């Protein structure tokens, strides 16, 4: 394995790292169920679902079979001027399970690209309506929408991952993030900032874009459904589109199939990704209304100006279909409720430590927020030594396990996390 690691450090650039970094790397031999098997023989319980996507765990026989079956027909075919059954069936399935007004599906390569597509849709919609000045986005602080340039422009401008690129990004409008927690019943104070931005800039705003109920990589913050309801009403009042980014929250993670269901609202555009294929392949989708699709096509240049090379890849679409069937035919609600209950019970003791600021849980998401930023290299190794895969960032240690995790596996995962949090010292913080 030393040769593999040497070659990796020489040529391979990992996410959010430097080439040749001396940060710990753990070569993986295989993955099955909720376990990651390392080359050195250690087996880790995965608490991350491979960045929140592998909801069915690894090496699932149903998903494996879907890929093998699709391979017999074709692995890929261009989507320009051609179509195929997996893409059509997947579009129909997504329309069936998302809010009723969403009738048009545009397939993309990744979550970031789905956000780019949504932003382009909104801008092109207003251009078709002879209002080209409505070309800006309004969002809330502490958000995260991806790593491509338009997606970065609507992510948090100060505390996000992309402050380095501020001078090169499109300038967007930002409102204060809601401070209300998930159980809050009063959001009048929280909504004032966004309402003020809409009142002042509505003539230039194409859409409001935000993550529903849970702000993910921007801070794992949970806010009240009523805030989202108020956002929908304000968008209607000021004639602004609403884009909901369900890339991290979609497909049951929060306890609802889609997080916007907590607020009982329908967006004008919805972005999906991550768990869409059960973590098997990269695929995303941007859904919108028939009105937006028709309006966009009526205006110049009469087509939507986007078309990825690997759009609607048949392998990915077939896998997504199998993953959705697996999810919808399972008892996923009870699985997520059981995970939520266990997380609440198992992580609460972390609140007793002075270096812990907060512990919060929603659905299959458990968050331990610390007062100080984490030394990820130090803490990562402690988790591996404890037999779990947990990838903390900034001030957060969080869990998003696969839905198939058993009660005992989740217990073992949480025990490891609780032990590491309790044993943290000055080397584990920046």
**For the residues 208-220, what does the mean pLDDT come to?**
96
> What is the per-residue pLDDT for 160?
61
Whether residue 77 is predicted with pLDDT greater than 70 in this model: the reply is: yes
- Domain presence at residue 341: yes
User: Confidence class of residue 166 from pLDDT cuts 50, 70 and 90?
Assistant: confident
- Sign of the torsion formed by the C-alpha atoms of 66, 72, 73 and 78: positive
Residues 177 and 293 in one domain: yes
Place of tokens 């990744």: 110
- Domain presence at residue 66: no
Write down the catalytic residue from 190, 274, 382, 428. Answer: 274
- Domain presence at residue 313: yes
In whole angstroms, what is the distance from residue 55 CA to residue 41 CA?
24
> What is the per-residue pLDDT for 167?
83
DSSP H or E segment with residue 368:
strand 365-370
> What is the per-residue pLDDT for 369?
97
**For the residues 415-430, what does the mean pLDDT come to?**
92
In whole angstroms, what is the distance from residue 39 CA to residue 145 CA?
34
> What is the per-residue pLDDT for 84?
98
Residues 105 and 233 in one domain: yes
Distances (CA, A) of 247 to 243, 290, 375, 411: 12, 21, 27, 27
Higher pLDDT pick, 186 / 359: 359
**For the residues 1-7, what does the mean pLDDT come to?**
87
**For the residues 320-332, what does the mean pLDDT come to?**
98
> What is the per-residue pLDDT for 193?
98
- Domain presence at residue 396: yes
Q: Which long-range contacts (CB under 8 A, 24 or more apart) does 427-430 make?
A: 427/375, 427/378, 428/374, 428/375, 428/378, 428/379, 428/382, 429/355, 429/370, 429/372, 429/373, 429/374, 429/375, 430/372, 430/373, 430/374, 430/375
294 is catalytic: no
Whether residue 200 is predicted with pLDDT greater than 80 in this model: the reply is: yes
Write down the catalytic residue from 125, 144, 223, 398. Answer: 144
User: Confidence class of residue 161 from pLDDT cuts 50, 70 and 90?
Assistant: low
Q: Which domain holds residue 385?
A: 2-59+331-428
Residue pair 402/323 in contact by the 8 Å Cβ criterion: no
Tens-digit pLDDT profile for residues 82-130: 999 999 999 999 999 999 999 999 999 999 999 999 999 999 999 999 9
Residue pair 256/262 in contact by the 8 Å Cβ criterion: yes
> What is the per-residue pLDDT for 414?
98
Write down the catalytic residue from 109, 156, 245, 268. Answer: 245
Residues 79 and 176 in one domain: yes
Residues 158 and 246 in one domain: yes
Phi, psi of 131 (to 5 degrees): -130, 65
144 is catalytic: yes
Phi, psi of 425 (to 5 degrees): -130, -170
245 is catalytic: yes
Residue pair 17/380 in contact by the 8 Å Cβ criterion: no
Residue that finishes a domain, picked among 299, 328, 357: 328
109 is catalytic: no
200: Cβ contacts below 8 Å, ≥ 6 apart: none
């Amino acid at each position: 394995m030393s040769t593999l690691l040497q070659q990796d450090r020489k040529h391979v650039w990992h996410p959010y790292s430097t080439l040749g970094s001396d940060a710990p790397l753990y070569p993986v031999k295989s993955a099955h169920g909720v376990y990651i098997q390392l080359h050195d023989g250690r087996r880790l319980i995965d608490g991350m679902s491979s960045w929140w996507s592998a909801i069915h765990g690894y090496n699932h026989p149903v998903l494996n079979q879907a890929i093998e079956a699709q391979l017999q027909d074709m692995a890929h075919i261009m989507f320009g001027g051609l179509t195929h059954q997996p893409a059509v069936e997947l579009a129909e399935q997504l329309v069936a399970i998302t809010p009723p007004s969403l009738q048009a599906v545009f397939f993309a390569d990744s979550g970031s690209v789905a956000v780019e597509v949504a932003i382009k849709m909104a801008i092109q919609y207003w251009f078709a309506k002879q209002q080209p000045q409505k070309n800006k986005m309004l969002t809330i602080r502490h958000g995260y929408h991806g790593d491509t340039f338009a997606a970065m422009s609507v992510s948090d401008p100060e505390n996000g991952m992309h402050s380095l690129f501020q001078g090169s990004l499109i300038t967007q409008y930002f409102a204060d993030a809601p401070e209300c927690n998930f159980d809050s019943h009063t959001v009048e104070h929280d909504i004032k900032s966004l309402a003020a931005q809409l009142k002042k800039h509505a003539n230039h705003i194409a859409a409001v874009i935000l993550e529903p109920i849970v702000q993910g990589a921007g801070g794992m913050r949970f806010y009240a459904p009523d805030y989202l309801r108020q956002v929908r009403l304000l968008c209607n009042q000021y004639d602004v589109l609403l884009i909901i980014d369900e890339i991290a929250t979609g497909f049951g993670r929060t306890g609802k199939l889609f997080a916007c269901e907590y607020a009982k609202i329908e967006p004008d555009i919805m972005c999906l990704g991550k768990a869409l294929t059960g973590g098997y392949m990269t695929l995303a989708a941007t859904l919108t209304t028939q009105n937006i699709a028709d309006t966009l096509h009526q205006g110049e240049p009469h087509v939507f100006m986007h078309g990825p090379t690997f759009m609607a890849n048949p392998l990915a679409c077939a896998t997504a279909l199998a993953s959705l069937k697996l999810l919808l035919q399972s008892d996923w609600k009870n699985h997520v409720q059981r995970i939520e209950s266990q997380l609440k019970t198992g992580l609460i003791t972390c609140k007793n430590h002075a270096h812990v600021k907060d512990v919060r849980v929603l659905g299959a998401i458990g968050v331990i927020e610390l007062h100080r930023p984490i030394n990820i290299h130090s803490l990562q190794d402690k988790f591996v030594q404890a037999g779990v895969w947990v990838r903390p960032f900034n001030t957060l240690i969080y869990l998003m396990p696969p839905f198939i995790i058993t009660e005992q596996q989740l217990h073992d995962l949480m025990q490891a996390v609780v032990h590491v949090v309790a044993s943290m010292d000055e080397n584990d913080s920046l």
